[in-house]
Structure 1
Amino acid sequence: MAVTDEAIVKIKDMIVRGDLGPGDRLPREADLAERLGLSRNSLREAVKALSLIHVLDVRQGDGTYVTSLEPALLMGAMEFVVDFHRDHTVLEFLEVRRVLEPAATAMASLRMSDEDVQALRDHLAAVPAEPSVEELVQSDLEFHRMVARGSGNKVLGSLLDSLSGPTHRARVWRGMTQDNAVDRTIREHHAIVDAIASHQPDVARAAATIHVAGVEEWLRASLGSQQPTGQTPDAT
């Protein structure tokens, strides 16, 4: 194991054991290096690495602190993973979304209050009668965030958000090229809300599966129809 990797593991272990908690300030560099049996250089590199993924917060002139460790903060790095995978590989991310989003929607059907469901209906009602593709995509992104939050599971909500947001350009492309994409999206969103309002998790799961699978099916067909030498659409 590389020295820097060893330093990262040791700091992580301190957090996992509870020696350091969210918001805690790390000991002085010299003291921590001695405590962990590390050189100050390797410790410094580990701190830089952990700050990049939002585990640590380096405050100039103040010290280094453990962040809140909230799922939304830690999973922000997932967007980099999605952004670096293009072409056919993005289908694997859509497959993950197809597994997770129906589960979140089923959970939301059991946990969302009548007020929460009404907020979803109000959100859909605010979409213009003839929305532009960009307007529809922005509405779509927020709609799915609301449903994911409604699951009551912060980890699941953050994970879905990191998988959903970076597909913005692909959704725009779909809206511009697929027949009836706008009408289909609006219709499926309403079906999802009705399923959540019924408080029947199996029905909600099915409605979400149909919706997400439609995007995956379209992208798979679009990518498969291209010539090997052609430019594959930007699907991130």
Structure 2
Amino acid sequence: MSVTDDAIEAIKQMILTGELRPGDRLPREPELAERLGLSRNSLREAVRALSLIHVLDVRQGDGTYVTSLEPGLLMDALGFVVDFHRDDTVLQFFEARRVLEPAVTAMAAMYMSEYDIQNLAYLLDSLPEEPTVDELVANDVEFHRRIAAGSGNPVLCSLVENVSGRTTRARMWRAITQDNVVDRTLSEHRAILQALAAREVELARSWATVHIAGVEHWIRKTLVDGA
């Protein structure tokens, strides 16, 4: 482990133990470096690294603070990394969706409010009879985002949003090239919605798996095997 890694671990432990809490200001650099037995350069590199992943907030002329540590903020760093992946890795993100979203959908069947489920139905009904590709994909993204939020777990919600958001372009390709994609998407969305409304946990999980696996299969055959 490098000296910078040691510094990162030391700051992380201060946060995990509660010595530093969200919103707290870190001690001044010379004081913290002496306290941790680290060089100021190593501490500076650690602070820079932790600020890149939104754990710390460096405010010029003011000091360095622990961020809110909200899941959505921390998961932004995942999105930053994912954006640099090549198109031929999109299948991996659909595989990740297939693992995450059925579990999240099952949780939503238990915890999503009746009000939010009703609004989910309104969302599906708001789609025009002959939607554009942009309208279809935007509706699809929002549908899954609301279900993730309905799970009641903000960490899982942030993970789903970051992974799912990076598959938008592939979903648009599918909407353009695959026959009956509108009817199939809406049919599967309504099956998921009905399972949520009925509080059928395993049925909701199964339909989410079928729905995402179908898109994954198309990605594999069209964008990967067919490349």
Aligned to 1:69: 69
Contact 1:4/1:42, CA 8 A, preserved across alignment: yes
SS in 1 for 2:64: strand
Q: How does 1:67-146 map to 2 (within 5 A)?
A: 67-146=67-146
What amino acid is the match of 1:8? I
Paired residue total: 226
SS in 2 for 1:65: strand
Residue 164, structure 1, aligned to residue 164, structure 2: yes
Contact 1:25/1:63, CA 8 A, preserved across alignment: yes
Deviation at 1:82, TM superposition (A): 2.5
Aligned to 1:224: 225
Contact 1:133/1:182, CA 8 A, preserved across alignment: no
Distance 1:35 1:108 in 2: 46
Distance 2:8 2:53 in 1: 12
Identity of aligned residues (%): 65
Residues 22-70 of structure 1 show CA distances to partners (whole Å, capped at 9, x for unaligned) of 1111011111111111111111111111001000011122111101111
Gaps of 5+ in 2: none
SS in 2 for 1:130: coil
Aligned to 1:230: none
Distance 2:202 2:81 in 1: 31
Distance 1:84 1:170 in 2: 15
Deviation at 1:93, TM superposition (A): 2.2
Deviation at 1:89, TM superposition (A): 3.0
Deviation at 1:92, TM superposition (A): 2.3
Gaps of 5+ in 1: 227-236
Deviation at 1:202, TM superposition (A): 0.7
Aligned to 1:31: 31
Contact 1:174/1:181, CA 8 A, preserved across alignment: yes
Deviation at 1:85, TM superposition (A): 2.8
Aligned to 1:195: 195
Deviation at 1:99, TM superposition (A): 1.3
Distance 2:145 2:27 in 1: 38
Aligned to 1:2: 2
Deviation at 1:88, TM superposition (A): 4.1
Residue 179, structure 1, aligned to residue 191, structure 2: no
Deviation at 1:90, TM superposition (A): 2.7
SS in 1 for 2:167: helix
What amino acid is the match of 1:148? A
Deviation at 1:124, TM superposition (A): 1.0
Contact 1:55/1:74, CA 8 A, preserved across alignment: yes
Distance 1:90 1:166 in 2: 8
Contact 2:91/2:216, CA 8 A, preserved across alignment: yes
SS in 2 for 1:18: coil
Distance 1:181 1:89 in 2: 22
Residues 132-159 of structure 1 show CA distances to partners (whole Å, capped at 9, x for unaligned) of 1011111111111100010111111111
SS in 2 for 1:64: strand
What amino acid is the match of 1:117? I
Residues 114-134 of structure 1 show CA distances to partners (whole Å, capped at 9, x for unaligned) of 111101011111112211101
Q: Normalized against structure 1, the TM-score is what?
A: 0.92
| Displacement over 2 Å in runs of 4+ | 80-90
Distance 1:173 1:82 in 2: 19
Deviation at 1:87, TM superposition (A): 4.2
